Amino acid sequence: MTKAVFYHAGCPVCVSAEQQLLGLLSQDVQVDVVHLGEKPARIAEAEKAGVQSVPALVVDGQVLHINYGAALADLKA
Amino acid sequence: MTKAVFYHAGCPVCVSAEQQLLGLLSQDVQVDVVHLGEKPARIAEAEKAGVQSVPALVVDGQVLHINYGAALADLKA
């Protein structure tokens, strides 16, 4: 079982990427979907993982930034 | 069976994304991996699909741009 975290902020580009990407993943991948707009307390965790923008998928400690969404800094405002 | 095309250019960021992302995908997803550096004739196809940078995954006519790789324009030089 591979564990992954999908960070997003509820923006249209995030939701679109989420639907597309998560639908493609193997059932062996357990994905924790985190809405940083609703859970700002997890922004620090995302930053520590190397997330620079959302949507992003973190797997095994590495970050895949998907499309061009919101910069993490914008979510702190 | 979902068909997807993964466009890349052989750069480290592309190879890393390819290994990570393709390893996560369901076995129901058939991925055509295209190295645009080796197959420049397919750049036009990628552009038509909406690819603006590589690495990118095109699924069902929609483009997921992964991380920050090379701009498509740079591959034409």
pLDDT tens for residues A19-72?
Answer: 888 889 998 999 999 999 999 999 999 999 999 888 999 998 889 998 866 677
Q: pLDDT confidence of B74, banded at 50, 70, 90? A: confident
**DSSP element (H, E) containing A43:** helix A43-49
Q: Is the pLDDT of residue B75 over 70?
A: yes
Chain A residues near residue B53 by CB distance under 8 angstroms: none
- The mean of the pLDDT values for chain B is 87
pLDDT of B60 over the 80 cut = yes
The domain spans of chain B are 2-75
Question: A67 and B67 in contact by Cβ < 8 A?
Answer: no
Fold of A2-75: Glutaredoxin (3.40.30)
Rounded to a whole number, what is the distance in angstroms from the first to the last CA of chain A? 36
Mean pLDDT of B44-66: 91
Q: How many CA atoms lie within 13 A of A30 on its CB side?
A: 3
Is the pTM higher than 0.90? The answer reads no
Q: How far is CA B34 from CA A22, A37, A70, B13, B39, in A?
A: 22, 36, 28, 15, 7
Q: What is the mean pLDDT of residues B22-26?
A: 90
Residue A68 to residue B67, Cβ atoms within 8 A: no
Summarised one tens digit per residue, pLDDT across range A8-21 is: 998 877 788 888 88
The confidence band for B69, taking pLDDT boundaries of 50, 70 and 90, is low
What is the structure's pLDDT at A30? 94
Residue B2 has pLDDT above 80, yes or no: yes
Chain A residues with CB-CB distance to B29 below 8 A: 24
CB atoms within 10 A of CB A56: 26
